[in-house]
């Protein structure tokens, strides 16, 4: 069974616009971080959200089309797999059906108290990925 797509609406702020009149590349990183964290909070139980933090390890972004102030992009977030304390995400930012950017990112789960890497329990992973892998 495939993982579910989590939709995250993005609000383009005037501060996101660069000198060329479209969204600055740095804003995409901000959006992906917000979308992935929203995905975690949407599926994880409250106690798991309180016990774990996520930090980005790597982002690979492919820009397809520019995004403008009047756009209402949507992030389509999929958790592809969890391996140890790492999670691997694919986030596609779209304007309607048009792909604006594709992002592959890896994240590390941390224990909120110790700030050390933490593995997620199998039943928690299955909330995100049916079958757990």
**In a domain? residue 1:** no
Please report the pLDDT score of residue 116 as a whole number: 97
**In a domain? residue 132:** no
**In a domain? residue 112:** yes
Give the CATH number of the domain where residue 87 resides: 3.10.129.10
Please report the pLDDT score of residue 124 as a whole number: 86
**In a domain? residue 96:** yes
By residue range, what is the domain housing residue 98?
A: 6-126
Q: What is the pLDDT along the chain (133 residues), one digit of tens a residue?
A: 566 789 999 999 999 999 999 999 999 999 999 999 999 999 899 999 999 999 999 999 999 999 999 999 999 999 999 999 999 999 999 999 999 999 999 999 999 999 999 998 888 888 877 655 4
Please report the pLDDT score of residue 130 as a whole number: 65
The tally of domains found in the chain comes to 1
* Count of CB atoms situated within 10 Å of the CB of 21: 9
Q: pTM, whole model, 2 decimals?
A: 0.90
**In a domain? residue 119:** yes
In angstroms, the CA 123 to CA 25 distance is 36
Please report the pLDDT score of residue 2 as a whole number: 62
Nearest partner of 132 among 117, 120, 116, 115, judged by Cα:
120
**In a domain? residue 133:** no
**In a domain? residue 94:** yes
């Amino acid at each position: 069974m495939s993982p579910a797509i989590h939709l995250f609406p993005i609000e383009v702020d005037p501060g996101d616009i660069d000198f060329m009149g479209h969204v600055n590349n740095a804003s995409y990183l901000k959006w992906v971080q917000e979308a992935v964290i929203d995905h975690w909070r949407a599926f994880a139980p409250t106690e798991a959200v309180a016990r774990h933090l996520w930090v980005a390890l790597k982002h690979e972004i492919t820009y397809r089309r520019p995004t403008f102030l009047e756009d209402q992009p949507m992030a389509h977030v999929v958790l592809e797999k969890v391996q140890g304390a790492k999670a691997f995400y694919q986030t596609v930012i779209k304007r309607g059906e048009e792909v604006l950017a594709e992002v592959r990112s890896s994240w590390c789960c941390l224990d909120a108290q110790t700030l050390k890497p933490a593995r997620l329990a199998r039943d928690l992973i299955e909330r995100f990925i049916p079958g757990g892998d």
